[in-house]
Amino acid sequence: MGEFEFVRVESDPENPAVAVIRLDRPKMNALNAQVQGEIAAAAARVAGDDAVRAVVLYGGERVFAAGADVKEMAESDYADMATRSRALQDSFTAVARIPKPVIAAVTGYALGGGCELALCADFRVAADDAKLGQPEILLGIIPGAGGTQRLPRLVGPARAKDIIYTGRMVEADEALRIGLVDDTVPTADVYPTAVAMAARYANGPALALRAAKEAVDSGIDADLGTGLEIERLQFAGLFATEDQQTGMRSFIEHGPGQAQFTGR
């Protein structure tokens, strides 16, 4: 499907509807400005490819991403970062807005920007020896790619503050307990487990999945009334799709779970 220098976009061989955004910047997938731009471009590619029905974010067998490139950032001043921080946030937001199910396959370390990238996925599968965290405070700064916003929405404000204020690493078992990850498995099983999760959605009704993601993600930041209106509009709009007709006809004729969706 194509690649950049440090980010590849591949199809899983056994599940061609599952795209894999693969980080590959030795040794620790440090997220410098170039990698950030390539992540945004990769997100745009899979978002616009109708053949892609679900996405896996993967950093390889050793590490997901150990954070931003500190050497690159150390020379920045306020004027530099006031500009570059927008591009940083936008590159991760591009992943969060992929209108398809996205699963992060986390091995080794997901720290700083690596943790923030994983937070952009819908679900996170982690190795049972993985470590996650937001250590920016130890550098005299705070998370700048969504950590202060996405983390508390996922685990609650108090737990997020503890992780951010201390900069400590969160072990996989704690991450599972507090909802920072959704499953833990042996390292060798992380990638196949994430792909299997993605494959569960690959044959589903793509437009309905997109609408569900949009309704949840947009509604969570709105008041209840606004969220219900977002849901209502998405719900009603799906009655203009072929998949709605297929799904309901199949239910009536064959019972639940038998429909073959086309994504139209």
Evaluate whether residue 259 is within a structural domain: no
pLDDT at 76 (0 to 100): 84
Q: Does the annotation mark 229 as catalytic?
A: no
The residue range of the domain holding 221 is 206-254
Catalytically annotated residue among 5, 136, 229, 231: 136
Q: Is 253 a catalytic residue?
A: no
Distance between CA atoms of 100 and 54, rounded to whole angstroms? 5
DSSP class per residue in 13-44: TTEEEEEEEEE--TTTT-B-HHHHHHHHHHHH
pLDDT at 4 (0 to 100) = 87
Residues 63 and 171 in one domain: yes
Which of 5, 14, 38, 116 is catalytic? The answer is 116
Q: What angle do CA 205, 208, 209 make, to 5 degrees?
A: 85
The predicted structure's pLDDT at residue 94: 97
Average pLDDT (56-77) is 89
264 domain-assigned: no
Q: Calculate mean pLDDT across residues 42-64.
A: 96
Q: How far is CA 59 from CA 26, 77, 86, 165, in A?
A: 10, 29, 24, 26
Look up the CATH number of the domain holding residue 33.
Answer: 3.90.226.10
Query: What percent of the chain is modeled with pLDDT above 90?
Result: 80
Task: Please check whether residues 32 and 160 belong to one and the same domain.
Answer: yes
Q: What is the mean pLDDT of the chain?
A: 94
Domain termination residue (choose one: 202, 220, 238) = 202
Bond before 213 cis per omega within 30 degrees: no
Instruction: Work out the average pLDDT over 111-122.
Output: 97
222 pLDDT band, cuts 50/70/90, is very high
For residues 46 and 104, membership in a common domain is answered with yes
Q: Do 167 and 188 share a domain, yes or no? A: yes
Q: How many domains does the chain have?
A: 2
The answer, yes or no, to whether residue 12 has pLDDT greater than 70, is yes
Burial class (CB in 10 A: 0-12, 13-18, 19+), 149: middle
Indicate whether 128 and 167 sit together in one domain: yes
Q: Is the pLDDT of residue 2 over 70?
A: no
Q: Are residues 106 and 78 in the same domain?
A: yes
What mean pLDDT is predicted for residues 101-121?
97
If pLDDT is split at 50, 70 and 90, which confidence band does 1 have?
Answer: low
Instruction: Indicate which CATH number applies to the domain containing 230.
Output: 1.10.12.10
Whether 14 is in a domain gets the answer: yes
As a whole number, mean pLDDT of residues 63-88 equals 86
Query: What does the pLDDT look like over 123-176, one tens digit per residue?
Result: 999 999 999 999 999 999 999 999 999 999 999 999 999 999 999 999 999 999
User: What pLDDT was estimated at residue 198?
Assistant: 96
Q: How confident is the model at residue 79 (pLDDT cuts 50, 70, 90)?
A: confident
Q: Assess whether 197 and 216 both reside in one domain.
A: no
